[in-house]
């Protein structure tokens, strides 16, 4: 068990307790993202198990919208199932506008592109 992760989700996957996993990997750049996802997938018995690594998108941890597709491709190339955009607050620009809130970053166009790939 890797205690630094805070949760032993890999054991939970290997014990058949989860339908999918969203490990938070938001501390890295796209160039290293695929390697981390591949290393996680190597620890899972069922190589087809769906994982959607989470990427933090916020004013404190800025990821430009044009990098979202790069993260998704790195995940898929490493046998992941895609990505999850992780934000404590609402990150969708159109939703924030509808609430009268300032935009964090506009990821709407990248989400549309990701949906078109599926």
Q: In the CATH hierarchy, which fold is given to the domain comprising 3-117?
A: Alpha-Beta Plaits (3.30.70)
pTM over 0.85: no
Look up residue 85 and give its two tokens.
């955009």
pLDDT by residue (tens digit) across 38-74? 999 999 999 999 999 998 877 667 788 788 889 999 9
Place of tokens 């290393």: 39
């Amino acid at each position: 068990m890797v205690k630094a992760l805070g949760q032993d989700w890999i054991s939970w996957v290997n014990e058949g307790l989860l339908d999918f996993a969203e490990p938070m990997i938001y501390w890295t750049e796209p160039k290293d993202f695929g390697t981390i996802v591949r290393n996680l997938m190597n620890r899972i018995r069922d190589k087809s198990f769906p994982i959607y690594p989470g990427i933090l998108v916020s004013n404190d941890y800025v990821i430009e919208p044009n990098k979202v597709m790069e993260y998704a491709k790195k995940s898929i190339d490493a046998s992941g199932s895609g990505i999850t955009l992780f934000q404590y607050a609402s990150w969708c620009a159109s939703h924030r506008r509808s609430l009268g809130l300032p935009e964090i970053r506009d990821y709407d166009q990248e989400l549309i592109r990701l949906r078109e790939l599926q």
